[in-house]
A and B are shown apart, each in its own frame.
Chain A
Amino acid sequence: MFENLTTRLGTVLDSIRGQGRLTEDQINAATRELRMALLEADVALPVVKEFIERIKVRAIGVEITQSLTPGQQFLRVVQQELTQTLGGVAEPINLRAQPPAVILMAGLQGAGKTTTTGKLALFLKEREKKTVIVVSADVYRPAAIEQLRIVAGNVGVEWFPSEVGQNPIAIAEAALAHARKTYADVLIVDTAGRTTVNEDMMKEITALHGALNPVETLFVVDSMTGQDAAKTAKAFADVLPLTGVVLTKVDGDSRGGAALSVRQVTGKPIKFMGMGEKSDKLEIFHPDRIATRILGQGDMLSLIEETTRKVDQEKALKFAEKLKKNKTFDLEDFREQMAQVQNMGSMEAILDKLPGGAQMKAQVAKANPEKQIKRSVAIINSMTKQERKYPDLIKASRKRRIAAGAGVEVQAVNQLMRQFETTRDMMKKMAGGGMMKMMRSLAGKMPPGMMPKR
C-alpha cells in the first residue's frame, strides 16, 4: 500500500548515481521524498522537520565510498540517524531500588496497558527471577480489574485485589504496603486509560506517582498511533517523570512512526515492544529494527552493510587502478571478480533481503547462478598462465584441452569466452567513461526486475 522509501527515492537517486558527491540540490530533492515517507509512516510533523534538518547537515558534502552509490550512502545516513534518534542501543529495565521496585503503567485508552502489565510480570518473573505482584488501579473501565486478575493468573504472578468504588490511590498504597510485607521484588501498578485533556484524570495519575514513588514510570503507546503520539506523549511527560516507553501492537503492519515521535518528544528510551497477544510476546526494543521499518526498507540496509564488509576494498581499488593504467582486463581479473561475487554469499540470501525479492528468487533458482560461477572458475583454473593473460591465444585445440581439464564440454568454454569478452568490453567502457555509461549499457542486459526502478 505504501511505497517504500527506496522506490520513493528512486528517481532522485538515479540522478545522483555515478557522481562522487551529493550536491545540495540533490540532497534537498531527496529530503523532500524522505519527508513524505516519514509522514506516511506517521512520524509527527515537528519531529520530521527537526529530523530532516539533521539529515541535511550530515548528508551535504558526504564523501561516497567506493563500492556504494551516493544514494545508498544517503540511505545509510538516514538509517544511522533514525537508529540514533530511536536510542541507539537497547536499554534494560531498571529495578535498582530498595524492594519492592514499583513500576507504574500509564497511557491512553486501548494502548495495551493491562496486557503489557501481564507480559512484563512474566518477563520479570522468568528472565529476572523476581517475585512480582500486580495491581489494577483502573476503577473506571468495566471489567478492567477482572482482566488483570485473569492475566495475572495466566502468567502465574500474585494479583492484589482491588474493587470498583475504591480510591485508586488507596488501592496503590494498600498494594505497596502488602508488597513490602511479603518482601516482593516488584510491584506493577496498572492504571486506567486516560485522555490527556481530562484534567481530573491527569491529576489522579500524578497523585498515584506521588504515592508510589516508582522506579520506572512506563508510558504505553500503540505503535499504530498517528500524529497524536507526539502531543499525547508530551502531555504525559509534562505531568509525570516518565522513565521509559513501551511500544505495543508492533506485530501489525504499521510503520511505527509513533516510536520516533515519542522518543524524540519525551527523550526517554523505548524499553519494550509488544509483539502479539500472548503473554510471552514482549521483546526488548531494538532501535535498528524499527528504523528499517519506518523507512519501509526490508533488510536492504543490512545487505548494504554486508556488501561493504565483504567486498575487499583494497583489492577493488587496486583493480580499478590497474584497469585505468593498462586498459586491459584479462581472465585473471575475470576470475577475481567472480570470486568477489561468491564472497557476498548465496544469491538467494541476497534476494531474501531485497524488497520484492521473493519473486525474483523463483526466477533465479532456475538459472542456478552459483553453479555457473563455480564452473566458470573451474574452466579458468584449467588454463595456463599465459592463456589467462592473453586470451586471444585460445583456439580450438587449446579449448579442447581446457574443456577436458575442467570436465566440461567445449561449448561451455566457448560460452565462458563470450561472457568474458562482453565483460571486457564493459570494463573498457567503464575505464573510459565512468559508471553512468556502464549502468546504462547494463540496463539492457539484465533480466527485468533486477535493475532498480527508474
Chain B
Amino acid sequence: MSENSGFLTKLRAGLNKGDSFLTRDLGTLFSGDKLRDDAIEELESRLLMADAGIEATTWLIERLQSEVNAGRVKNEKQLRAVLKKFLVELLSPVSKPLVIPPFIKPYILFVAGVNGVGKTTTIGKLASRLKKEGKTVLLAAGDTFRAAAVQQLTTWAERADVPILSQGEGADSASVIFDAVQSAKSRGIDVVIADTAGRLHTQAHLMEELRKIKRVVQKHDPYAPHEVLMVVDATTGGNALTQALQFHEAIGLTGIAITKLDGTAKGGILLAIARRMALPVRFVGLGEGVEDLEPFDAEAYAEALINP
C-alpha cells in the first residue's frame, strides 16, 4: 500500500496540478440539494475535453444519468462517490501490472509506438525500475532509423546503469534485437528490453518490419516476445485507438504505457482505451526523470481524479 500511495501522490501532483478536470468546482453543480439542470452536460463537456472520446463519455454519462434519475445523487459527496464507482468499473479491467515470471529467461519485452510518444524515455525509466527490483536488464537499441536514437538510449542505459547492445545507425533492427537476446542468453540476463523505431501505423512496410523483428526473435524463443508494450502519448486524441488497433494487428500487443501525463493533457484517453480495448495499461509516465514511471492502478487513478 505504501507504494500505492506514492503513486497516488505523484498522480495527484502530475495529473491535476491542483484541479481535477473532472471534479473541479463540483460543488457549483448543485443548487441546494438538487443537481443543477446543466450539470450532466457540464460533466459531459469535461470528459470530452479530456479526450475521453465519445464512446467512453456516453457510457459514463448514461450511467450517471440513471443514478441521478433514481434520486441517488443529492449532494456533492454522493456525486463524487458515484463518479468514482463508475470510473473504477471502467478502468479496473485494464489495471493489470506487468509481472515478469522468474521461469522465463530472458524475458523479452518489445517497446513500440508511433513517432515521438516517448518510447526511449519509457525504456530508460523501465530499465531503472526493473533493476531496482533486482533484475538484470539488457537494452537492445532497435531504433536504427532515427538520427541519434542509439545515443539517446545509451544515455538512458548509463543513467539506469544497465548494459546496452547496439550496432549503430542504419543497422538491421531485427538483427540488433536478435543479437541482444543471444547475448542475454549467454550472460544469463533476466530481461531484454528492445527499442524499436517510431513508426506511423499507416506505413505498411514499417509495420511489416515489426512483424519481421518478431519472426526473427522467435527463432530464439517461439513464445517471444513475452510482452509487447505500446507507448501512447497522453496528448494524443482519438487516433490513439486506431494506433493501438493497427499495432495490435501487426504484432499483437500485450500492454500499454501512457506517457506525458504530467502535461496539461489529463489522459482521458485512458478511459477511451479502457472502454474500447481489453489491453492492460501497464505504466503511466509522469515526467522526464528516471523515477517518473509508475504502474497503473485504476483505484488510485480514479481517486486522484475525484479527490484532488
A residues adjacent to B (C-beta < 8 A): 1-2, 36, 39-42, 44-45, 108-112, 114, 140-144, 146-151, 154, 195-197, 222, 224-229, 231-232, 235, 249, 251-255, 257-258, 277
Contacts and interface: CB of A to CB of B under 8 A. Distances in A.
B118 interface: yes
A45 B262 contact: no
Question: Interface size class for chain B?
Answer: 35 or more
Contacts of A148: 147
Contacts, number: 152
A110 B264 contact: no
Contacts of B242: 1, 253-254
Given A142-B155, A147-B152, A40 B238 contact: yes
B218 interface: no
A332 to B, nearest CB: 51
A224 B236 contact: yes
Interface of B: 17, 45, 48-51, 53-54, 114-118, 120, 145-152, 154-156, 169, 200-203, 233-243, 245, 260, 262-265, 268-269, 288
Given A141-B152, A196-B264, A249-B115, A225 B236 contact: yes
Given A143-B148, A154-B147, A253-B242, A228 B265 contact: yes
Contacts of A277: 115, 145-146
A154 B145 CA distance: 13
Given A1-B241, A142-B151, A147-B152, A252 B114 contact: yes
Contacts of B53: 40
Contacts of B288: 109, 140-141
Chain B interface, >50% SS class:
loop
A80 B103 CA distance: 62
A282 to B, nearest CB: 15
Given A197-B262, A224-B114, A249-B114, A42 B239 contact: yes
Given A141-B152, A197-B263, A2 B238 contact: yes
Contacts of B269: 226
A254 B51 CA distance: 14
A257 B237 contact: yes
Contacts of B268: 227
A110 B263 contact: no
A146 B151 contact: yes
A150 B200 contact: no
Contacts of A224: 114, 233, 236-237, 239-240, 243
Nearest to B288: A140
14 contacts: A1-B245, A41-B238, A114-B147, A142-B154, A142-B156, A143-B149, A147-B151, A149-B148, A196-B264, A222-B116, A224-B240, A227-B50, A228-B51, A231-B264
B237 A110 contact: no
